[in-house]
Structure 1
């Protein structure tokens, strides 16, 4: 009997995960519709201003296809991807740990608030200049700018999520015998998702944007360096192709990394939601 129960429980869990994956895939239709609308506006801008100002979507996709056949282009895109993802991983780890610690301590939040304001107020271009002076045109320059620029967002998301948690749920879990660690993992941490995951999504986008900007200004290779070459050659189609590649990498990382984790952590919110209904 026990093996059959274990098999049945495993089958239910696998079916639940498959259902969440199908729901995520189905929700992509709305995103595709938005991308089609963007392509229509893009085409209208091309027809209004001509190819010298804005190449058409078809020309840009053709340039992307041409770049896809070049091994050196894959190396360029991989370099930017590696810098962005590693920088985002540092931001997510540090921001989550520091934010959760500050969320449990109102005094720490009051001390950290002006520091966060200062970090958010400094333009990314200023951090790029300073990082170039400190580290030159290296990976450290790109990662440093990503961390300094995106860390406050994740910090605030984690801290606000913990600070606004429902204390009654903590008391209820304690009454049922849950210890501090279990209450944190099953009650406190799960309540941070409302603010934490939007902050992580914003930080991921910031990581890619800042990485490309730092590469361009610091002459550090990657997609930013390719954009600098396209600017010198006045190659609008090639420049837009690299932008499209950067955005595609961002979308791929978000829906392969952030969204699946969000769906797994947010399972408790689905208890009161019928299939396909988003409240």
Structure 2
């Protein structure tokens, strides 16, 4: 009986922390603090009760823009995948918007909506909707024509085709779209908060840099990476496992 190969994924984060600690010995703590100093800074923010409002603000902004982008991307991506005419119309617009860095929209959204929730959610939406639309469109286009023709021969109408043919076959592309969209949205959120917010993780990083508090800057960076890693591990991988089980039945 062959034993399963051990996974070394558990060692990557401790290795990163060890490397960080070794590099930090070359610098004074006000430039590059040790991991334990950043942990102490995090504990101080928790003890003061200041950390949760920043985390809550960032997560609410991320979820608002991300879920709005999901709805728009599903409608646009499925329609573009099914309709060549709409796909031809949408392609130049997608190329145009994807060429513009999402953060470039932040000054305009702040002029329109002012500082705060709506302006940052708008930037997140713009960052996520185009790559998600393309991923879903590609997934729908990859569906074999024979499956569609067979369903039509059996009498399936347009709604039944969407539910029983297009939706199951495009699930892998949808999961990819969620991953890509979340990462793009999360990056845009942090960047937008750094230039136009009074609260949030991006604000923590920006303010820490302005006052020369490297521990606060690194605390924000660690939180950014940790939340992205938790989203990947606890959300997207579970979604992928569920659709694999669902498709096998």
TM-score range, shorter chain: 0.7 to 0.9
**What is the Cα deviation at residue 228 of structure 1?**
2.3
Partner residue, 1:250? 228
Partner residue, 2:106? 128
Whether the 8 Å contact between 1:128 and 1:145 is mirrored in structure 2 is yes
Q: Compared with structure 1, are the counterparts of its residues 52 and 89 closer, same or farther at alpha carbon in structure 2 (3 Å cutoff)?
A: same
Q: Compared with structure 1, are the counterparts of its residues 202 and 44 closer, same or farther at alpha carbon in structure 2 (3 Å cutoff)?
A: farther
One of 85, 89, 111 as aligned partner of 1:111: 89
Write the deviation string for residues 251-270 of structure 1: whole angstroms up to 9, x where unpaired.
33344433333322232555
Partner residue, 2:175? 197
Secondary structure at 2:30 match in 1: coil
Partner residue, 1:70? 48
Partner residue, 1:94? 72
Distance 1:269 1:42 in 2: 43
Whether the 8 Å contact between 2:81 and 2:138 is mirrored in structure 1 is yes
Distance 1:163 1:233 in 2: 51
Distance 2:177 2:22 in 1: 33
TM-score, with structure 2 as normaliser: 0.87
Partner residue, 1:33? 11
Distance 1:147 1:185 in 2: 26
One of 208, 213, 235 as aligned partner of 1:230: 208
Structure 2 gap ranges (5+): 1-6
Write the deviation string for residues 111-134 of structure 1: whole angstroms up to 9, x where unpaired.
211111110111223111211222
2:241 aligned with 1:260, yes or no?
Answer: no
Write the deviation string for residues 13-40 of structure 1: whole angstroms up to 9, x where unpaired.
xxxxxxxxxxxxxxxx654333233323
Q: Compared with structure 1, are the counterparts of its residues 109 and 34 closer, same or farther at alpha carbon in structure 2 (3 Å cutoff)?
A: farther
Partner residue, 1:152? 130
Alignment of 1:3-14 (within 5 A): none
Write the deviation string for residues 228-259 of structure 1: whole angstroms up to 9, x where unpaired.
22112211111111221222223333444333
Distance 2:189 2:54 in 1: 12
Q: Which has the higher helix share?
A: 1
Q: Compared with structure 1, are the counterparts of its residues 36 and 182 closer, same or farther at alpha carbon in structure 2 (3 Å cutoff)?
A: farther
Write the deviation string for residues 31-64 of structure 1: whole angstroms up to 9, x where unpaired.
4333233323323432344433322222222322
TM-score, with structure 1 as normaliser: 0.78
2:160 aligned with 1:182, yes or no?
Answer: yes
Partner residue, 1:43? 21
Whether the 8 Å contact between 1:215 and 1:224 is mirrored in structure 2 is yes
Distance 1:31 1:196 in 2: 25
Whether the 8 Å contact between 1:64 and 1:242 is mirrored in structure 2 is no
Q: Compared with structure 1, are the counterparts of its residues 34 and 173 closer, same or farther at alpha carbon in structure 2 (3 Å cutoff)?
A: farther
Partner residue, 1:209? 187
Secondary structure at 1:71 match in 2: coil
